[in-house]
Amino acid sequence: MTIRGVAIHQPPFVFINRNETSQDGRYYGFLIDIFREITSRLHNVSLELYEVEDGLFGSRQQVKTSDGTLQYVWNGMIGDLISGKAHVAVGPLSVSSVRYPVIQFTPSYLDTGLSILVPKADESDNPFSFLKPFSYEVWILILVSVFLIGIFSWIFDRLSPFGYSKLESEDNDKSNLTISSSFLNSMSTITGISGGETGRSWSTRIMMIGYFIFAMICLATYTANLAAFLTTKIQVTKITSLSDLRKYGFKFGVPANSDPAEYIKTSNEMADIRKNMILYPDLDGCVNALRKNEIEAIIWDNTIVEYVANQAPCDTLKVGELFDQKNMALAISRNMTASPDQKLMEDISVILLELRESGVVNRLFQSWWVDKGSCHSGEEEVTISSGITIHDFWGIFLLLIIFFVLAWLVLFFEMIFIKVFRKTANIRKVNKVMGSLNDCLGGTNLESDKKEEKPTFGNREMNVSLMNDGF
C-alpha cells in the first residue's frame, strides 16, 4: 500500500530540495526520518510525497458560496487532508481544538509551545561593560549609601559626647574627623581600600560595622558577576519575555495562516498585544524583517525558534518561557478512519509511541537540532536585561538600614549616659568605665586622649628635697 503525504518546507522538520527529481533526494529532515522508521516497521507500505501547492500549513477561511451563504473552507495541508488528496501531512502541525474536528491526530511525538525569537545585540564594543553586573537602580542606591554614611559618620561624631569634636572643645586638641576625611573613608571603604579614621564614638563605630558588611558583600557580588560578564558571552536584549511585549508594545511578526496567528487573533490572553502583530507570508519573511529591524521579535513554535537561533549567521536568540503549550502529532485524513485503513492508522500510532519510548525520537531530535547547529561557541549564552536588580539585592540595603537605626539608638544612649553620670563627683571613675567599654569597640580611652601633665617643682621645693637627701 502507498501512503500519499503532503509536505511543506519547514526546516528542520522537512527540507525540500526542488532541484532534485528523485523523492529520496528531494525530501529530507526530522519528520522524513521518522516516517522512514515507521514504514520500515510496516509490511508492504511505502510513502509517496508531494509539496503543498499554496505553501501553507492550513487555516480556516470564511468564504461566500454561490448561493450567498458563508461557510468555512480550509487551505494548505489541512485542506488537502480534508479533501482526501493526501493521507498524511508531513510537517510540524500541533494539535488544536480547531483542527481536531476535521482531521485525525496520532499520539504526540514532541511537546512544544510558543516562544519568542529576538535579534542579538552586539556588545563587543561597549566601553561601559564593567557597569553591567548591577542595574542602574542598584548603582544609584550604592552611591547614595556612600554619601549618607560619609555625612552621618561626621554628624554622629559631632553629636556624640565621646566623639573627637568633644575632645576639641575640652582639651583644645585638633579633631581627627573632619567632613572631608569622613567622605574619604566612606568612599575608600566601598572600593576595598583601607580608609582613615572611622570615628571615636560607639554610635559611629556601630554604623561603620554595618557599612563594612555592606561594602564586603557589594564588592564580592560585583567581582563575581564582573568575572562572569567578562568570561561569558552575554546577550543583552530589549525583550526578555512575553511581559515585555505587553508592557512596551514592541512590534512582532507571525507567519500568516498559521496556528500561532490564529491563537493571537482569538485568545483573550493575547488581546493586549494583538494590535502589534504583523503578518508575513512565511517564517523566512519574518526572519528577514527581524534582521532589517522592521520588527523587534517573532512569535512562533518553540522547536522551530530553537532551530533558527542555532543556525548561521547566529544573530538571533530565543528568550522567555513557553506559552500556549501544545503537542505535535502526525495529522491523518479522516478518510483513513474507515476500514481497511483504520488498522493502518492504528499501527502508525503504535509504532510512533514505540519510537518515542525507545528514545529514537530524542536521538533524531538531537541530530537535527543540536548536532547540525552552527552556533556552538563553547560559551554559555545568558540573557539578561539590566544586571542584578534591587529585587535581588534589597536585603543588603535593609541590613545597612538596621545598623543605621541601631547607631541612632546608641547615640541617644551615649547622650543620656553622659548627662546622668557626669552629675556625680567621681567623673574620673565614670570616664574610666566608659573608656573600658569604648576599648571593647576599638575606640580610645577618654582619659588617655588627654595630655599627660608632668609635675613641676619650684626652687623652694627642690631645695628642700636636696637638703633632705643629705646635702
Buried b (16+ CB within 10 A) or exposed e, 76-88: bbbbbbbeebbbb
| CB atoms closer than 10 angstroms to residue 55 | 14
Residue bearing cell 500541533: 94
CA–CA distances in Å: residue 364 to residues 12, 31, 32, 69, 115? 11, 9, 11, 47, 22
Residue 236 near residue 34 (C-beta atoms within 8 A): no
> What is the DSSP secondary structure assignment for residue 414, as one 8-state letter?
H
- pLDDT by position in tens, the chain (length 471): 888 999 999 999 999 998 887 877 899 999 999 999 999 998 888 889 999 998 888 888 878 777 777 788 899 999 999 998 999 999 999 898 888 889 999 999 999 999 999 998 765 556 777 787 888 888 899 999 989 988 888 888 778 777 676 654 444 444 566 777 778 888 888 887 765 666 677 788 888 888 888 889 888 888 888 877 766 655 567 888 899 999 888 999 999 888 899 899 989 989 999 999 999 998 999 999 999 999 999 999 999 999 999 988 888 999 989 998 999 999 999 887 665 667 888 889 999 999 999 999 999 999 999 888 878 544 444 444 456 788 888 888 898 899 889 988 888 888 887 777 666 545 555 556 556 655 655 554 444 444 444 444 444 443 434 334 443
Residues 6+ apart with CB under 8 A from 434: 162, 417, 418, 446
Provide the annotated binding site: 92, 94, 99, 301
Give me the residue spans of the domains in the chain: 129-231+389-440
What is the rounded CA–CA span in Å between residue 169 and residue 363?
83
Q: For residue 256, what are the β-bridge partners?
A: none
What is the rounded CA–CA span in Å between residue 135 and residue 133?
7
> What is the DSSP secondary structure assignment for residue 196, as one 8-state letter?
S
Q: Quick one: pLDDT at residue 465?
A: 41
What is the rounded CA–CA span in Å between residue 101 and residue 114?
22
Cell output for 247: 508592557
Q: Quick one: pLDDT at residue 385?
A: 47
12 closest CA partner among 435, 369, 419, 379: 369
Provide the annotated binding site for L-glutamate: 92, 94, 99, 301
> What is the DSSP secondary structure assignment for residue 310, as one 8-state letter?
T
Q: Quick one: pLDDT at residue 273?
A: 93
| CB atoms closer than 10 angstroms to residue 419 | 10
